[in-house]
Structure 1
Amino acid sequence: MDNIFAQYQIEMPKVYQEKIKTYVSTGGNAESRENTPFDRQVDFWYMALCLAFKEGLTPTKEKDTYNAITAEILSRNSYRVTQMQMIALAATNDPSVLLEPKKMLDVCIGLANAGIPMLLNILADTEATPLWNIYYELENLTS
C-alpha cells in the first residue's frame, strides 16, 4: 500500500516536546521499557491520535509546533495509513476528505494534538509505571 502521507510532516506542539521525549526510547534515552514505553515519537503521536478519536475529542490546531518526523515513517507500519484515513473520514463525516491526503493528515494531527495532554496525564500517573498506566488505560477502553 502506498503511503499517501509520505510527503508531509508530522508536527507536534513544542510545549510538550521535552516531556514526550521522556517517554520515547529513541535518541539515546537510557530509561527502562517500563518508563519509556514508546520506541519512537511517531508511536507516541499515534497513541495520542487513537485516544483522542476514541474519546471523541475535538481536533486542536497548534501554532507553535515542531516537525517530529516526516510522515514517510508511516510506511513502516502501513496499516496506520488506512486507519488514519478511516479516522479522518469518521471525524469529518465527509467522504470527499479521502481525496485530500493533506486534509486527512491535518485532521489526524489535530486529533493527536488534543490527545497529547491526555496521554501525558496517563503516563504521569504515579500509581504505576508509564508502561502499566497505558496498559490499564487500554484495558479500560476495551471494557
Structure 2
Amino acid sequence: MNAFAPVDVYLPEKYQDYFHTYCLTRTEGSRNNPEDSPFPRMVDMWFMALCLAVKEKIKPDFDHKGPTYKAINGDVFGSDLWRSNALMLLAIAHTDDVQVTDKPHEMMRVANAYAIAGLPRLITILEERGGDTALDFLSDVIEDMLDD
C-alpha cells in the first residue's frame, strides 16, 4: 500500500528548469544524457535534495512563498517502498510523534520542506562542478559525504 498515493509533490517554480536539466525524465525535445543529467526521475533529484538537507543539518523550509508547480505524482512512491519508509522515519524524527504515520499529507509536508531546503545546496553542487560531468562530480561529492 502506498500511503503517499494521494499526495502530490509541489515545488517552487524557480526550480522547475533545474529539474528538467538534471533529470532524464523526458520532455518533448529534450536530449538529456546520464552524464549531464544524473537523476533518472524527478523524484530522485527531490530525494537527493532531502537527503542533503538532513545530512548537512539544513533547516527545513516550511515557509516557502511564491508560485509552485506539481513536480511529482504521489503514485511514484508506491514503486519505492524503501523511499516511503524513509519519508515516514523522517516525519517521525522531525515531529517526535509516531502518530504522524497516520497523516500522509503531514509526512509529505515535512519531507518536502527538507527537499526544498536542500535544493539550493544540490543546485550549487551541480552548477559549480567546473569541467566535470554532473554525474562524476555528484558521485565524488556523495562519496566524500559518506566518508564524513
TM-score (norm 1): 0.92
Distance 1:92 1:54 in 2: 17
How much does 1:49 deviate? 0.9
Cα deviation 1:16-54 (Å, max 9, x = unaligned): 111221001112431321101111111111111111111
Q: Would you say the 8 A contact 1:36–1:130 is kept in 2?
A: yes
How much does 1:92 deviate? 2.3
Q: Does 1:52 find its partner at 2:56?
A: no
Cα deviation 1:80-109 (Å, max 9, x = unaligned): 100110111112222232221111110000
1:69 is aligned to: 72
**Structure 2: tracts of 5 or more residues without a match:** none
What letter matches 1:4 in structure 2? A
How much does 1:4 deviate? 0.4
Query: After TM superposition, which residue ranges in structure 1, 4 or more long, deviate above 6 angstroms?
Result: none
Cα deviation 1:52-84 (Å, max 9, x = unaligned): 111111111323211112111111112110011
Give percent identity, aligned residues only.
35
The alignment's C-alpha RMSD in Å is 1.4
How much does 1:126 deviate? 2.9
Q: Which moved more, 1:60-69 or 1:115-124?
A: 60-69
Q: SS state of the match for residue 22, structure 2?
A: coil
TM-score (norm 2): 0.89
1:102 is aligned to: 105
Q: SS state of the match for residue 11, structure 1?
A: strand
2:91 is aligned to: 88
Q: SS state of the match for residue 69, structure 2?
A: strand
**Structure 1: tracts of 5 or more residues without a match:** none
How much does 1:121 deviate? 0.7
